[in-house]
């Protein structure tokens, strides 16, 4: 894409109204626009990153048998009354937040979805009746709306955000546990592919409303709202809320061997038991002709939070540093004065072979400003074509993560990125 | 995909609560689930079709220079007060419907987006300042929420639906008109690729709140809520609301040459002039140093409505008939008794070459029920492997749109679909 046609512009200064590093950088670089606290529009560059994150999660969910669907934002209160999760004004949901509600013209109240357990369980009453229909795994990428009191962590804690939520439906506890472990492994693959592998831990946590324990995936970062304790050599992590003598003794580990870290919860998986299947009547007939409630589990990853976490974890003082798996483009091709003609040719050749290139073809911008923009945008490789490099029939390549400049011949450049 | 693992089931009977043909068929075939009137979940097969429609629209919008982004559902009323489109309870929007509203914990009202002109115009105030920044074309696929009084046309008129909305920003009326015509052509390509080309007309219509005239794209269908008049030989169509003597005389055509038809509005494009750019202060500096409001246009296609229209226009008494461009799978491979082993091999070979196959590997289902399901699902080609066909080292191919059965050797089958 030609940068001269990209409709967003970068900014030199941090927006005064943003506290979080992720939102400051993403706004300066033109990836997002803040509509209000906790509500962000994805601009073209931001949407490219967002969709790449979705693509990685989708691949891993499909690989463990997930079937993608798309539920709705508008919710019928009757469904939520069955599980006692419809609460009146001033009261809170089990997730600790009040509902966003709205009304039909006839005055009937509707909910604005903060999660989808009830909805999916109800849908499956139409499609599941026998042990032969289980197990099944359904997921979606859909907006969640949470009426946060304060929203000051940028895109990491939003009032409106896209979540990948997968739900598992199993016959037996054993069948459920088998998938639960499969999904935990898939989550580690996701965070690995997102460039967060070396700092993300499967973390022992409390089970909340549903069971005694659950698992969180926590990425070490000073911007995190959580505190975890890690034991690196055993690859073990425990959330502060369950870092108790009892748990430590169960695990046969010593408190003093752990390090304390701030961290960001980038994913969680937890057992739901039969809470929703019983409340909504999702039963299956066993091989023996008995009717039993389906055993459920829930598996979430916030897409915006993952994106914000990548920015928090990998940025430097000059700007964002995208891992190549989610970068909006693979190459930032920068034409300086005298290099325009060769840059133009190179742009075409790179595009022809399918390399994703942002081409800085702007004519009235000084080299220093172009370099600053390039660092801010965080594209993995910068390729500069100038009078000087053209004289040697070369271009200058620099990785975003390195200070080393490398000369590569114009002729070989496409091969370099293939 | 193996049909035995697909979590949705088909139904023999029409759901009693649905009036529209599109929703009846889509529910029976397991493509959608009705949450409430005008609110539908997309089940896995439905989402596959939906995403293919989105893919086609996206390609055509990118081809005319559209830059994709993603705006938000939650809206700050302050923005909408600037253009006088924030209305109090009981009052209606210019689109004729009241807002869905909600509230933050602190009691502040928020809007739930029914459109995004104000939002995008406001965002662009940060990014557009000079004639050099124009023209620009931004679009999204995003939920719209419309508080319809009655919603009984299935997925064609929903309270919650995904719309592709593109907005154009131009310097001059001439620049605007040039893009407007480009986009009209792109729309015809979209409807052509969706299999609706031969029954979709660019239709002269009233401009609503913004200008005297606009263009609608109307697909002939008895299920339509609109009435249009068409003059086939001139490829001319006029919406009933502007089918007046004045318009006819302007166009130099005679009333009696037109045929009346019911139709579905599958797209619309219209000039916005400077209504929003003036209200929200989106100005650009001209070459002469003058500050002028940007000239805008709006271009919409409802994704669910397009999907419903395809069902309405192309179904038959046995079920849905998907055009191959948007079909959930290219091939429905059906194994009958004695054909399982060869079907299994064929499934693998087709998948290996990248053909999208739904493989009916269910063991306890009678041939008649499998055929009925296949017709209901509407996949373009059905391939049956049975004892009889295997004896001849063949399979039986039937197109959804034809009654002819064709025998193809098992060996050549992958080539047949490549």
In chain A, residues 59-88 whose CB comes closer than 8 Å to chain B = 65, 67-76
User: Who's near A202: CB < 8 A, 6+ residues apart?
Assistant: A184, A187, A188, A215, A216, A217, A237
| B98/A124 Cβ within 8 A | no
A105 CB neighbours in chain B (<8 A) are: 98, 147-149
Beta strands B213-220; B226-231: pairing state: unpaired
A39 CB neighbours in chain B (<8 A) are: 72, 74
Same fold, A21-314 and A331-416: no
Q: Would you call B16 an interface residue with chain A, using a CB distance cutoff of 8 Å?
A: no
Q: How far apart are CA A207 and CA A203, in angstroms?
A: 12
pLDDT at site A97: 82
Tokens of B252: 């130099």
Task: Give the number of other CB atoms < 10 A from CB of residue B179.
Answer: 21
**% of chain A at pLDDT higher than 90:** 91
Q: Residue range A8-32: average pLDDT?
A: 94
- Per DSSP, chain A holds a count of helices (H) and strands (E) of 12, 21
Task: Tell whether the model's pLDDT for residue A217 goes beyond 90.
Answer: yes
Nearest C-alpha neighbor of B271 from the set B313, B353, B213: B213
Q: How far apart are CA B227 and CA B262, in angstroms?
A: 5
pLDDT at site A87: 87
Alpha-carbon gap: B258 to the closest alpha carbon of chain A (Å): 39
Nearest residue, CB atoms, B41 vs list A68, A110, A123: A123
Cβ atoms of residues A374 and A307 within 8 Å: no
**Structure ipTM:** 0.96
Q: Where are the alpha helices (DSSP H) in B282-393?
A: 303-314, 340-352, 367-377, 387-391
Sequential pLDDT tens for chain B (418 residues): 999 999 999 999 888 888 899 999 999 999 999 999 999 999 999 999 999 999 999 999 999 999 999 999 999 999 999 999 998 877 777 667 889 999 999 999 999 999 999 999 999 999 999 999 999 999 999 999 999 888 889 999 999 999 999 999 999 999 999 999 999 999 999 999 999 999 999 999 987 656 678 999 999 999 999 999 999 999 999 999 999 999 999 999 999 999 999 999 999 999 999 999 999 999 999 999 999 999 999 999 999 999 999 999 999 999 999 999 999 999 999 999 999 999 999 999 999 999 999 999 999 899 999 999 999 999 999 999 999 999 999 999 999 999 999 999 999 999 999 8
CATH fold of the domain at A331-416 = Rossmann fold (3.40.50)
Q: Tokens 């690859």 label which residue?
A: A235
CA end-to-end span of chain B = 18
| Long-range contacts, stretch B102-105, CB < 8 angstroms, 24+ apart | B102/A100, B102/A101, B102/A102, B102/A112, B102/B74, B103/A100, B103/A101, B104/A147, B104/A159, B105/A98, B105/A147, B105/A148, B105/A149
Alpha-carbon gap: A108 to the closest alpha carbon of chain B (Å): 12
pLDDT at site B210: 60
Cβ atoms of residues A167 and A118 within 8 Å: no
Q: Tokens 């959804």 label which residue?
A: B400
Task: Tell whether the model's pLDDT for residue A94 goes beyond 70.
Answer: no
B5 CB neighbours in chain A (<8 A) are: 65, 67, 136
Task: Tell whether the model's pLDDT for residue A152 goes beyond 90.
Answer: no
pLDDT at site B156: 94
Q: How far apart are CA A188 and CA A198, in angstroms?
A: 10
B-chain residue closest to A2, CA distance: B65
Of A114-128, A210-224, A295-309, A364-378, the least confident: A210-224
Q: Would you call A128 an interface residue with chain B, using a CB distance cutoff of 8 Å?
A: yes
Q: Would you call A360 an interface residue with chain B, using a CB distance cutoff of 8 Å?
A: no
- Counted residue by residue, chain A has a size of 418
B-chain residue closest to A8, CA distance: B127
Nearest residue, CB atoms, A7 vs list B39, B43, B67: B67
| A9/B69 Cβ within 8 A | no
| B44/A69 Cβ within 8 A | yes
Cβ atoms of residues A75 and A101 within 8 Å: no
Nearest residue, CB atoms, A160 vs list B30, B73, B105: B73
Nearest residue, CB atoms, B72 vs list A35, A50, A112: A35
B74 CB neighbours in chain A (<8 A) are: 35-36, 39, 145, 159-160
pLDDT at site A212: 74
User: Who's near A88: CB < 8 A, 6+ residues apart?
Assistant: none
Backbone angles phi, psi at A50, to 5 degrees: -55, -45
Q: How far apart are CA A185 and CA A188, in angstroms?
A: 5
Q: Would you call B39 an interface residue with chain A, using a CB distance cutoff of 8 Å?
A: yes
CATH superfamily, region A21-314 = Bira Bifunctional Protein; Domain 2 (3.30.930.10)
Query: What single string gives the DSSP state of each residue in A242-310?
Result: G--HHHHHHHT--GGG-EEEEEEEEEEEEEEETHHHHHHT-EEE-TTS-EEEPEEEEEEEEHHHHHHHH
Where do the structural domains in chain B lie, given as residue ranges?
21-314, 331-416
pLDDT at site B96: 75
Alpha-carbon gap: A74 to the closest alpha carbon of chain B (Å): 7
Q: Would you call B112 an interface residue with chain A, using a CB distance cutoff of 8 Å?
A: yes
Cβ atoms of residues B390 and B408 within 8 Å: no
Nearest 10 degrees: Cα torsion B255, B257, B262, B263: -100
Task: Give the number of other CB atoms < 10 A from CB of residue A349.
Answer: 15
Q: How far is CA B212 from CA A199, A265, B79, B418, in A?
A: 60, 53, 26, 50
**Cis ω before A135 (30° cut-off from 0):** yes
Q: Residue range A338-361: average pLDDT?
A: 97
Tokens of B1: 């995909």
Q: Would you call B44 an interface residue with chain A, using a CB distance cutoff of 8 Å?
A: yes
A128 CB neighbours in chain B (<8 A) are: 7
Average pLDDT, chain A: 95
Q: How far apart are CA A240 and CA B253, in angstroms?
A: 78
User: Who's near A135: CB < 8 A, 6+ residues apart?
Assistant: A168, A169, A170, A171, A175, A176, A179
Nearest C-alpha neighbor of A29 from the set A406, A379, A404: A379
Nearest C-alpha neighbor of A325 from the set A190, A134, A211, A233: A190
């Amino acid at each position: 894409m030609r940068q001269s046609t990209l409709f967003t512009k970068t900014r030199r200064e941090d927006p005064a109204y943003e506290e979080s590093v992720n939102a400051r950088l993403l706004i300066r670089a033109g990836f997002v626009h803040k509509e209000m606290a906790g509500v962000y529009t994805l601009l073209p560059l931001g949407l490219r990153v967002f969709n790449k994150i979705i693509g990685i999660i989708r691949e891993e969910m499909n690989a463990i048998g997930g079937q993608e669907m798309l539920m709705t934002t508008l919710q019928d209160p009757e469904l939520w009354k069955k599980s006692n999760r419809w609460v009146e004004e001033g009261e809170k949901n089990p997730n600790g937040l009040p509902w966003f509600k709205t009304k039909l013209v006839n005055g009937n109240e509707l909910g604005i979805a903060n999660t989808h357990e009830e909805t999916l369980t109800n849908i499956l009453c139409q499609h599941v009746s026998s042990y032969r229909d289980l197990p099944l795994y359904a997921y979606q990428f859909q907006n969640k709306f949470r009426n946060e009191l304060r929203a000051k962590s940028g895109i990491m804690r939003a009032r409106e955000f896209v979540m990948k939520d997968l739900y598992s439906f199993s016959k037996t506890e054993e069948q459920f546990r088998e998938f639960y472990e499969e999904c935990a492994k898939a989550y580690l693959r996701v965070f690995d592919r997102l460039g967060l592998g070396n700092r993300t831990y499967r973390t022992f946590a409390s089970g909340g409303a549903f069971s005694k324990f659950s698992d969180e995936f926590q990425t070490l970062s000073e911007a995190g709202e959580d505190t975890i304790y890690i034991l690196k050599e055993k690859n073990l992590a425990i959330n502060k809320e369950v870092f108790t003598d009892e748990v430590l003794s169960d695990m046969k580990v010593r408190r003093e061997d752990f390090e304390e870290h701030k961290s960001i919860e980038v994913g969680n998986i937890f057992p739901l038991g039969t809470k929703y299947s019983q409340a909504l009547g999702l039963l299956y007939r066993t091989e023996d002709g008995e009717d039993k409630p389906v055993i459920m589990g829930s598996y979430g990853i916030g897409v915006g939070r993952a994106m914000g976490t990548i920015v928090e974890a990998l940025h430097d003082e000059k700007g964002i540093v995208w891992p190549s798996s989610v970068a909006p483009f693979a190459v930032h091709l920068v034409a300086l004065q005298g290099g325009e003609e060769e840059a133009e040719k190179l742009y075409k050749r790179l595009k022809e072979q399918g390399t994703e290139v942002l081409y800085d073809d702007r004519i009235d911008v000084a080299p220093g400003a172009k370099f600053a923009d390039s660092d801010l945008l965080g594209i993995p490789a910068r390729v500069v074509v100038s009078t000087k490099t053209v004289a040697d029939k070369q271009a200058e390549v620099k990785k975003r993560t390195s200070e080393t400049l490398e000369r590569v011949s114009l002729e070989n450049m496409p091969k370099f990125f293939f």
